[in-house]
Chains A and B, each alone.
Chain A
Amino acid sequence: MTLYDAIIGKVREIEKKTRMEARVTNISVSAVLTAELTIVSTILLVILMVRKLDVYIMVLFLLVGFMLFSMTPIVVILHREQTDSFHKMIFYVILTFGVLITLLYWGNINV
């Protein structure tokens, strides 16, 4: 299955689950494809850039990147996760907080 078919399939699946009434149009599919390519390119470039900070962090980013790429299309999952649900918001807030404090503490010792 091509990436295009995979994305259309996933969009339809999500719409069924969320009972969205909107049709899958050319505009919506090209929007999803653009967003997907943007996210993938940004992740790759960030992995490349992070090597200047630390090789271990680059490996960590690489692993996270591979994990995300294995779940292609990423942007559909991101769209589902970035809703107005308070539970999801608070989950990511606490997750970010933990990662930030850990990285800052670790980063000053190792970088």
Chain B
Amino acid sequence: MKSLIALMVILPILCGLLLNLLHKKDKTIKILALTVAIILPIIPLIASYGAYYFGGYPPIAENPTIAKYLPAYITGSYLVKFHPAITYIFTSAQRIFIFILGIIAFFAIFTSLNEVKKPSGVYSFLMFMATAAVTAILLTDDMFNLYVFFEIATISQAGIILSSNIKGSYKMALRYLFLGGVAAPMLLLGVALLLGVIGNVNISDMVFAMRNGLIGQGNPIFLTAAGLIIFGWLYGSGLPPFHTIKSGLYSKALPHAASLIQAFSVFTLAALGIIILRLFYYIPVVRWAIIIFSIAGMALGISMAIMQTDFKRLIGFLAVGELGYIGIGLGLGTTMSITVGLFQAVNEVLVTACLFLGFGTILYQTGISEIDKLGGLLRYRPGVAGLMILAGFIMAGIPPFNVFQSKLMLIESAISAGFPELAIIMILLSIVTFMTFMKAYYSIYLKPEPRGLEVKAERIPSSTIFSMIILLVICTILGILPQLATSQFGSIIHGLL
């Protein structure tokens, strides 16, 4: 069943390519896209844990047939442990991440196909390509392969925005690509420097080389590589200085696409963050850099969110701000904090997706995103308003939901690690998140309806409501049983610390 590991990436790519070719064949596009979208979250549940070697070349140490024909100076050296092939690693942590990514991708594709009369093969292609790219980022143990999929994810996300047909989406997508033109080559340069110093692009081999003294950790080239890779990480995840463009990107996407794109950002943050920790854990300033950028992301994102007058931008900034909690978990670098940071990643993906879909219903009903022009929407769809307030409570960290569990555990980890200041910052920003959400909720649902507000569509697509309910149910289950998720991350952390 190990071939299923590769299939998690190959299947969405193949499906995307096929959809791209099926222009104007609406029914076929719908059936194919939905079938693959249903299969995506199932594959990680049935795949076996382990490593998949592309081309079928495991390390020499695992292949005695080849080893017996090699000279002793090779079989007796470190080379036997090095990975000659592009390697994908699938553990319980990847299982939960790819499962959740599959669920979000399914809801995004399902909602998009239900909201439009004529499905676009190109649009679905971009969603599948980006999903495949982020899945590969989560699985790969090869730095260059990671860079390639990082670029594919960037281009696909820009493509999704370009296809959204929202005013200003072209400019935003191009800005995102231009900034990517600065950040992504820096990531590649970091990879190239590591290749130059270590002679290998496999992450496990790099870690092995460092821990066995094959390379000095104070090496200036190594430090520069650390800086360059962290810079790429900031771009991929949307932490400052890329928080403005990332929130802009969310605001110019259709709601279902925004829910998917934010999942890409969160999982890129988690996957690259873990790689940075694996490579540079023993350089304390790297963990400090992660913490400082995470705090900056939280403070800037949440304080900008509360000042927004457009709810799409508001939720965009909130999504960016919440990323900081994950970064803090990783930056603290303890077993508990990393576990909880990854748990927060799962939680944030679920609740933010729900909020994007929920805010999308307001846009669907009124076509307006300026908060000042809205009001009194509670009487049209009280059920959806109820779901929205639940999602807002979850994001702010109200018990007994999943985000409460992860934020509480993060605060405990910060105090245990000797950083009470961080704990206070996290509490403070959670309160402001709650206030931001309530400000938007009051203005949209509770405030008297402004004169001239036209509610064009009272009926909201049932696919959207269904997706929101399922996401909220998962949030509640993870809130009551957090160990369902937290117990899955041991495999990653065991090899890290």
| Chain A interfacial positions (CB closer than 8 Å to B) | 22, 27-28, 31-32, 34-36, 38-39, 41-42, 45-46, 48-49, 52-53, 75, 78-79, 82-84, 86, 89-90, 92-97, 100-101, 103-105, 107-109, 111
Across the interface, do A104 and B299 meet the contact criterion of CB distance under 8 Å?
A: no
Q: B31 within 8 Å of A by Cβ?
A: no
Across the interface, do B303 and A39 meet the contact criterion of CB distance under 8 Å?
A: yes
Across the interface, do A53 and B304 meet the contact criterion of CB distance under 8 Å?
A: no
Interface residues of B in 402-442 (CB under 8 A from A): 418-419, 421-422, 424-425, 428-429, 432, 435, 439
Q: B283 within 8 Å of A by Cβ?
A: yes
Known: A35-B307, A93-B242. 12 other contacts (CB 8 A): A27-B443, A34-B435, A35-B303, A45-B422, A46-B425, A79-B304, A82-B243, A82-B244, A89-B244, A93-B241, A96-B241, A97-B186
Q: Report Cα–Cα, A83/B289, bound state, in Å.
A: 25
Across the interface, do B179 and A38 meet the contact criterion of CB distance under 8 Å?
A: no
Q: Report Cα–Cα, A84/B316, bound state, in Å.
A: 13
Q: Report Cα–Cα, A39/B242, bound state, in Å.
A: 18
Across the interface, do B306 and A35 meet the contact criterion of CB distance under 8 Å?
A: yes
Across the interface, do A27 and B439 meet the contact criterion of CB distance under 8 Å?
A: yes
Do most interface residues of chain B lie in helix, strand or loop, or is the interface mixed?
helix
Across the interface, do A95 and B241 meet the contact criterion of CB distance under 8 Å?
A: yes
Residues of chain B with a CB closer than 8 A to A90's CB: 178-179, 182
Residues of chain A with a CB closer than 8 A to B182's CB: 90, 93-94, 97
* A101 in contact with B240 given A78-B300, A82-B304, A86-B178 (CB within 8 Å): no
Across the interface, do B292 and A93 meet the contact criterion of CB distance under 8 Å?
A: no
Q: B458 within 8 Å of A by Cβ?
A: no
In the complex, how many angstroms separate the beta carbon of A16 from the nearest chain B beta carbon?
17
Residues of chain A with a CB closer than 8 A to B224's CB: 101, 104-105
Q: B234 within 8 Å of A by Cβ?
A: yes
29 contacts across the A-B interface (CB closer than 8 A) = A22-B309, A27-B443, A34-B303, A35-B304, A35-B306, A42-B295, A45-B421, A46-B425, A49-B419, A49-B421, A53-B285, A78-B300, A78-B303, A78-B304, A82-B300, A89-B241, A90-B178, A92-B241, A95-B241, A100-B230, A100-B289, A104-B224, A104-B226, A104-B286, A104-B289, A105-B220, A105-B224, A107-B285, A111-B288
In the complex, how many angstroms separate the beta carbon of B432 from the nearest chain A beta carbon?
5
The closest CB in chain A to the CB of B285 belongs to A107
* A75 in contact with B303 given A84-B172, A100-B289, A104-B285 (CB within 8 Å): yes
Q: B495 within 8 Å of A by Cβ?
A: no
Across the interface, do A42 and B428 meet the contact criterion of CB distance under 8 Å?
A: yes
* A34 in contact with B432 given A45-B425, A83-B244 (CB within 8 Å): yes
Q: B392 within 8 Å of A by Cβ?
A: no
| Chain B interfacial positions (CB closer than 8 Å to A) | 171-172, 175, 178-179, 182-183, 186, 217-218, 220, 223-224, 226-228, 230-231, 234, 240-245, 248, 283-286, 288-289, 292, 295, 298-300, 302-304, 306-307, 309, 372, 418-419, 421-422, 424-425, 428-429, 432, 435, 439, 443
Across the interface, do A31 and B306 meet the contact criterion of CB distance under 8 Å?
A: yes
Q: Report Cα–Cα, A48/B422, bound state, in Å.
A: 10
Residues of chain A with a CB closer than 8 A to B183's CB: 93
Across the interface, do A41 and B306 meet the contact criterion of CB distance under 8 Å?
A: no
Across the interface, do A105 and B303 meet the contact criterion of CB distance under 8 Å?
A: no
Return the contact of A108 from the options B179, B218, B422 (Cβ within 8 A): B218
Across the interface, do B285 and A103 meet the contact criterion of CB distance under 8 Å?
A: yes
Q: Report Cα–Cα, A104/B229, bound state, in Å.
A: 12
Across the interface, do A38 and B303 meet the contact criterion of CB distance under 8 Å?
A: yes
Q: Report Cα–Cα, A38/B430, bound state, in Å.
A: 11
Across the interface, do B284 and A111 meet the contact criterion of CB distance under 8 Å?
A: yes
Q: Report Cα–Cα, A9/B418, bound state, in Å.
A: 41
Across the interface, do B307 and A75 meet the contact criterion of CB distance under 8 Å?
A: yes
Residues of chain B with a CB closer than 8 A to A96's CB: 231, 234, 240-241
Across the interface, do A38 and B428 meet the contact criterion of CB distance under 8 Å?
A: yes
In the complex, how many angstroms separate the beta carbon of A24 from the nearest chain B beta carbon?
12
